[in-house]
Structures are given as structure tokens and as C-alpha cells.
Structure 1
Amino acid sequence: MREGTSAIVIGAGVAGLLTARVLSDHVDRVRILERDRLAREAVTRPSVPQGRHAHVLLAAGHRLLDGWFPGLTDELVAAGAVALDAAELVWHQGGAYRIPTDPGFLTVSASRPLLEGTIRERLSRQRPNVSVADETAVDGLLLEDGRVTGVRVDGVAHRADLVVACSGRHTRFLDQLAETGFPAPRVSEVHIDVACGTCVVPRGPHGLPRRRGRRPGAAPPDRHHGAGGG
């Protein structure tokens, strides 16, 4: 860590929070700038359109999160998340049930706002060199001598040794860089034709005995799938 170094992360979503966690090991000061208001409660916000949908942590991401934030899983469960053992899940697809398997690890089902809020609170608690400023919209990048030297907020320059944009796939900063001669990154697209919807359904006392969740999938040509948790 070089003394006096700083970084700015644009966006306080999961990508921005984890980027700040990694950078906090290498620079003196990390500032996260987020245009939305960040409530203390686990509520959705405009910049995360997927925030109202159900989420499940996959194994690799779960291990990384618990490594960066020891005890995070216990905090999530204490706040209302559901710990899931894959052996407790029922998978119905193509008109039949799959044979139950036990991969030997737990996962967690939590809302996106709960996950983000818990990570954000842990980050501020265990990383004093990281700060978060909400309701702070970045107008554009500062470009000097062929490099990015910071960002501009409400016409005011904020300088940093490194700027990381974690503002989503529709970020406008690539266009700004292209206008000044920076080569555009190569983009590959995979069209999966998938849409998501979430609703809360009361669970009956005898619906899934000894099971925490169910994933139903209809047989072709019906392409609708669903998932439920206990």
C-alpha cells in the first residue's frame, strides 16, 4: 500500500462493494459514490431493477463473501435470510422429479437489498479506509494527459489514482472514453431470452414435508420455470 493513494468506485451495488473491499487492501482511501439514496432498511432502489426478485448465493460467490467478510452468512440468516442445503431442495423438471443429491455445502437465499445492506455495513465496520457517499451522481470522468484522473460531481473535480466504474452494463462512461480516443472494449453478447418475475406465495403446513424449497419446470414446449423457498 502506497501512502496517500486513493481510489473511487462508482456504484454501491454488489460489484462496487466487493471492488472496494479488494482495493482497501492496496490503497489508503477508497470512496464509493452512489447516485441512489441508500436506506438503512432492506428496501429496493431504482438503480437495481433486479432488486425485488428472489436471490440465491451460488457456491463460489458464497465462499468468497465469507472469506472477505467472516461471519456474513450468520448475519444474513439472523436478519431473515434462509440457509439452504441442496439436499433439502426438490427439483421437478420435464414431468419428473430429479434424484436428490447432496453436494456437501450450504447456500443462502436472501433479498438483494438485504445482501447489499449487510455487505455495506460490514465494509464500513471492518474497513475504516472505505467510505460511501449516497445521492452522489457522477457527471463524468476527469481526463488529463491521456488518462483518467478522477470524476466530476456537480461540476466539482474529485481526483483519485484509480477510478473503477461499477455502474452497470448501461454505463455511459465508455462513450465518454470513446469520444476522447480510447479504444472501445470488445463486446460479445449472448441472448438467452429470459425474463424474471417474483411473487410471495404462502406455504401450507403439508406442502413440502422435510423440504426447504422446490424448483418446478414444465416439460417442453412449455418454457416456464419457477422456484420456491421455505
Structure 2
Amino acid sequence: MSGVVYAQSLDSLFVTANKLYQQESYDEALSLYQEIENNNVESAALYYNMANIYYKTNQVAPSIYYYEKAIKLEPNNKDITFNLEFAKRMTLDNIEALPKSLGQKFRDGIILRFTYNTWAIIAVSLAFLFALLFLLYHFSYSTEKKRIYFITSILAVIFVSLSSFFALKNYQYQETTITAIIFALQTQVKSAPTNSSEVNFELHEGTKVFVLESLDNWRKIKIADGKTGWMKEADLREL
């Protein structure tokens, strides 16, 4: 099957799944969405619809998991953000997050505002703008216009540098930061990666954690309030 026909087949499948979703045939729609996902398709719309089905059928962990996957692809999508926050209300763990530093606020508010692909596109677009402004500056005979083109080209270079920097930092953060959602109804977080070790605290389905280390079938995790511990790999699913 050619790539074009293959893509059209998946698009047709997505349209059919959406119709079933609108008809509230959630099991059938979800089955088709999962078939699309199994073909290595990454789509915010796909994940969003899957999350909605899980939410409507009161499946806490999968709904939050797929909302989180959707928001990673479209961090400024208000519908996804709203539904994610709504789904989080179904979780049992009431974890008070540590205050963010200025650096963390800047990272979350600016660098992670767009995906690294979007920042890269912005950088390339600004680079083309700089090239155009440079040509206009070079071929312009008006002193006033030359000054305007020169100043705006310098600004374009500055913003190219900034957006490139943001793209790099965003990429590095995404590559080095592993998050996961608890899928077990209840799980124990231990002081060491052994069954006999002391229990530090317990977590419940739907809670988001940061994965710090891996050892065999254990994962060292950190939660929003800074607490850390080890839990079974089978009890969570990495995003």
C-alpha cells in the first residue's frame, strides 16, 4: 500500500471513529482510535477524543494519560487544558506542588509555551525575514528606509537567536524529562527498589509523576511536592 493510500485509509478510519463518537458509540469509536494509534500516529485530536471517551466512561488514569499526550502536542489548546484540569478532579491524591522558581516559571510560561517544532518554525521564518530585510537594505537608495531596514533586520536576528535558543531548551527538556501517569488503583512508593523496603507513601490512579531512574522493573519517581521513592514499573505508564 502506498503512503498516500495508507494515509487516506487512516483518515477515513478517523472520520468513521468521530461519527461513532458523536453517536455515543464509545466502545466502537475507541477501538478505531486505538487502531489508528497502533499505526504510530501522533495526533492531538486523536488523543483528545480518546481521553474524552475514557473520561465519559469514568476511567480516570487513561483519560488523564491521553489528555497529557494531547497537551504535549498542542500546549496552547484551551479545550485540552480545560478538560485535563477537569479530569484531574477525579483523582484521589491531593498533592500540594512546591513553589516554582523564577527559572521554572520562565521555562513553563515561555519556553514550553510552544513545542520545540513550533519554536524552530518561528526561527526559520524570522531568518527568512532577516534575509529579506537585508536585501531591502542593500538595494534601497533611501537613507531613511536603510535605517528602518537595518534596525528591523537586527531585531530579526535577535529574535532568531532567542527562538532558536528556546527550541533547543524545549527539546532538551522534553528529552530529559520523563513523566508518567499512575494506572494502578493504588500503589505503594517505597524507600528502595525491593518488595521488603519501607513504604514512603501511597499514590492512586491518575496522579502524574516524574520518573528519575530505572532499575529492572522498578522506577524511582518524584511527585509535585518533592517527595521521592521507588514503585513498580507495571503501576505506571510513561508519557
TM-score range, shorter chain: under 0.3
TM-score (structure 1 length as normaliser): 0.24
Structure showing greater relative contact order (alpha-carbon pairs closer than 8 Å, 6 or more residues apart): 1
TM-score (structure 2 length as normaliser): 0.23
Q: In terms of Rg, which structure is larger?
A: 2
Q: Which has the higher strand share?
A: 1
